[in-house]
Amino acid sequence: MSRAAYLRLATLLLVWAAWEALARSGLVFQGVVPSSLTVLASAASELGSSNFYPHLWRSAEEIGVGFAIGSAAGVGLGTLMGVAVFLGRMAHPYIHVLAPTPKIIFLPVLMILFGVDIGSKIAMGAISAFFPVVVATYDSVRLVPPVLLRVARSFRASRWQTVVKVYFPSMLPAVVTGMRLGLGVAIIGTLLAEIKLSNRGLGFLAIQRYEGFHIPDLYAVLLIIFVLAVAANIAIGRVADRLQRRHVISRRTPSR
């Protein structure tokens, strides 16, 4: 292990120890800062209860479907905007104004449009994922080295062949990075929507625990959400790294 990794682990242990010390000191109300062991026990009982999984699957479904719709739309429109210069110049300001807007403000509208049930949660995930992906895609189209396009032209590749064989592979690493950000905000958007108004999902579970003042259970749900989000991020990061490696394959000198 590297020095940085040791320090990272030490920091984690230190924070944990501080939390535990605070919980046991009696300085704060036990319900606000419960012992980490209590939280872990709660988490174990959540995971062990059959009541938990419908919530997990519901959130996974909302996030998965929303993310898929949002990133597909983002890649499609981003590519179109990059390839069709006029469309790009027309639509680009809208995208850039809307991208940093908190998407949660659209939730009431989405509930009117798609209902208070799963529809509005999926829409929330989709709209959240869409923006980082469309921005990354649009930028990546314009970063395709012009000489590679001239190579394709000189070999008389069709427009479609050029998109599939030159544009897409060249854009891939940047688009995957955009999708990574997109997945993050899709999780945030979906859970926020669940917290706001729903009767199922991990966000609903968390807010239900809070409203019942089951604080260790609340922390347990948060911990589970946190671990799942990290796992999803690592998984998509792995894919991104693999794609990236192909492109940049270090300056390693070829062996003789």
Partner 1 sequence: MAEYGRDCRAQPFMTSGHGSAQASAVLTAEGIGKRFGSGATAVTAIDEVTLSVKQGELISVIGPSGCGKSTLFNIIGGLITDYEGEVRIDGRRVSGCHPDIGMVFQEESTFPWRTALENVEFPLEVRGLPAAERRQRAQQFLGLVGLTEFADRYPGELSGGMKARTAIARTLAAHPKILLMDEPFGALDEQTRLLLGDRLSQIHRELGQTTLLITHSITEAVHLSDRVVVMSYRPGRIKRVVDVDLPRPRSSEIIESEQFGHLVASIWHDLREEASRGLAADEASRRSS
* Contact between 125 and 107 (Cβ < 8 Å): no
Instruction: Tell me how far apart the alpha carbons of residues 90 and 94 are, in angstroms, rounded to a whole number.
Output: 8
Identify which of residues 51 and 253 has a Cβ nearer to partner 1 in the complex. 253
Copy the structure tokens of residue 2: 């590297």
Identify which of residues 120 and 170 has a Cβ nearer to partner 1 in the complex. 170
* Contact between 34 and 216 (Cβ < 8 Å): yes
Site for partner 1 in 137-196 (CB under 8 A): 145, 147-148, 150-158, 161, 165-166, 169-170, 172
Shortest reach from residue 142's CB to partner 1, in Å: 17
Shortest reach from residue 242's CB to partner 1, in Å: 12
Q: Does 250 bind partner 1 (CB under 8 A)?
A: yes
Identify which of residues 104 and 172 has a Cβ nearer to partner 1 in the complex. 172
Shortest reach from residue 164's CB to partner 1, in Å: 10
Identify which of residues 8 and 153 has a Cβ nearer to partner 1 in the complex. 153
Applying CB under 8 A, which part among 3-11, 91-99, 101-109, 242-250 lies near partner 1?
242-250
Instruction: Tell me how far apart the alpha carbons of residues 210 and 53 are, in angstroms, rounded to a whole number.
Output: 19
* Contact between 125 and 186 (Cβ < 8 Å): yes
Shortest reach from residue 241's CB to partner 1, in Å: 14
* Contact between 45 and 229 (Cβ < 8 Å): no
* Contact between 127 and 70 (Cβ < 8 Å): yes
Instruction: Tell me how far apart the alpha carbons of residues 57 and 106 are, in angstroms, rounded to a whole number.
Output: 24
* Residues at the interface with partner 1 (CB under 8 A): 145, 147-148, 150-158, 161, 165-166, 169-170, 172, 246-254
